[in-house]
Amino acid sequence: MEIKTIAVLGAGLMGHGITQVAAQTAKYNVYMRDIKQEFTDNGMKMINDSLQRFVKKGEMTETQVNEVLARIHPTLDLKEAVSNADLIIEAVTENPEIKKKVLAEADSAAKPEAIIASNTSSISISELASATKRPEKFAGMHFFNPPQLMKLIEIVRGAKTSDDTLNTIVEVTKIMGKEPVVVKKDVAGFVVNRVLIPALNEAVNLVNEDVATPEDIDKAIKLGLNWPMGPLTLLDYVGLDTTLAITEVMVKEIDQKYQASPLLRQMVRAGLLGRKTGKGFYDWKK
C-alpha cells in the first residue's frame, strides 16, 4: 500500500517532531491534530523554530521551509485529520486509557485500509490494538526524542499485526530517513528501554548509595562506555516520572528485578523531575 497522507495525533514533544520528519524528509502531506488550539499553535511554533535552525546552518532555504510548512495541516478536528490518512500515528500522552479512547475514535473515522501505529514507549501494542477494529493493521512505531535527529524507529509487532502492515511501516521508516528495528514480540520496554531503563536505574542506585557524585557517574559512563550523555543527565532530559512509569510497567509485565530505586521514587514524589521542573539530578534553572 502506498502512503501519501499521514495523520499525527498529538502536537506535543513527540507529535510535532514526527510531523516535521514526515513533512520535511518524507515529503508527506501531514495532518497534525490536538485537542486545544494552543497545543497545535505551540507544535507549529516548535516546527518553525527547528526549520529555522536548518536555515541558519545553511542546510535549507526559506523557500524549502515554506514548502515543508505548506504540507502540514494543524487541526482540532479528529475526523478531518484521519479521514484521508493512509497512516495514522498516535502520539498522545503515555496513558493507556487516553490512548485507547483516541485510537477508538480514530479507528471509527478512518478509511478501512488505513494503518494505525502508536508511538508508545512502554504500553502493550496488542492491548492498544484491541481498542480498534483493525488489530491486523495496527503496530508500534516508537520514535526517539528528538524525532528530528534520532535515527532509530522501533517497529513493534502486536499479537495480530499482519506482515503487510509491518512491511509498509518499515518502508515508511526508510522514506523518513530513519533506521528500522523490528521488535518481533510485543514485550514491555521493547529493545532499547529493556536495556536502558535498568542502566539508568542502576545509576540512581549509585547516587543513593553515595558511591560517587552525579557528575562523576556521568563522566565515568560517558568516557568508559562512550555514551554521548551520562545516565543522570539523560534521566533529567527524559523526565524522572516518565522513567519511573516505565519501570512500573516492566515490573508488572516482566519481572520484579526492574524495581525502581528508592531515590527515583523519592525524587518523583518531591517533584524533582529533571529539566521540565528545573531540577532533577542537576539544577537546570542556571
pLDDT tens, residue by residue, 181-205: 999 999 988 999 999 999 999 999 9
Catalytic residue list: 121, 142, 154, 193
* Domains: count for the chain: 2
Q: What is the pLDDT of residues 53-71, one digit of tens each?
A: 999 999 999 999 999 999 9
* pTM assigned to the model: 0.89
| Cell numbers 497512516: residue | 87
Residue at which a domain ends, from 157, 183, 209: 183
DSSP secondary structure code for residue 185 in this structure: S
Residues with Cβ within 8 Å of 286's Cβ and at least 6 positions away in sequence, in order, are none
Look up the domain containing 228 and give its range. Answer: 194-277
Looking at the domain assignment, is residue 189 inside a domain?
Answer: no
Q: What is the pLDDT of residues 95-133, one digit of tens each?
A: 899 999 999 999 999 999 999 999 998 889 999 999 999
Average pLDDT over residues 21-25: 98
Residue at which a domain ends, from 160, 183, 206: 183
Q: What is the pLDDT of residues 227-271, one digit of tens each?
A: 999 999 999 998 999 899 889 989 998 999 999 999 999 999 999
DSSP secondary structure code for residue 176 in this structure: T
Q: Beta-strand (E) ranges in 82-232?
A: 87-90, 115-118, 138-143, 152-157, 179-183
Q: Are residues 127 and 73 in the same domain?
A: yes
Q: What is the CATH number of the domain that holds 110?
A: 3.40.50.720
Q: Are residues 88 and 204 in the same domain?
A: no
Q: Are residues 129 and 222 in the same domain?
A: no
195-222 per-residue burial string, b: 16 or more CB within 10 A, e: under 16: ebbbebbebbebbeeeeeebeebbebbe
Integer Cα distance of 154 and 91 in angstroms? 14
Q: Are residues 103 and 168 in the same domain?
A: yes
Q: Supply the DSSP string of 223-280, one letter for each residue.
A: HHH--SS-HHHHHHHH-HHHHHHHHHHHHHHT-GGGPPPHHHHHHHHTT--BGGGTBS
Q: Are residues 11 and 127 in the same domain?
A: yes
Q: Are residues 39 and 124 in the same domain?
A: yes
Assign 17 to helix, strand or coil.
helix
Q: What is the CATH number of the domain that holds 201?
A: 1.10.1040.10
Q: Are residues 247 and 146 in the same domain?
A: no
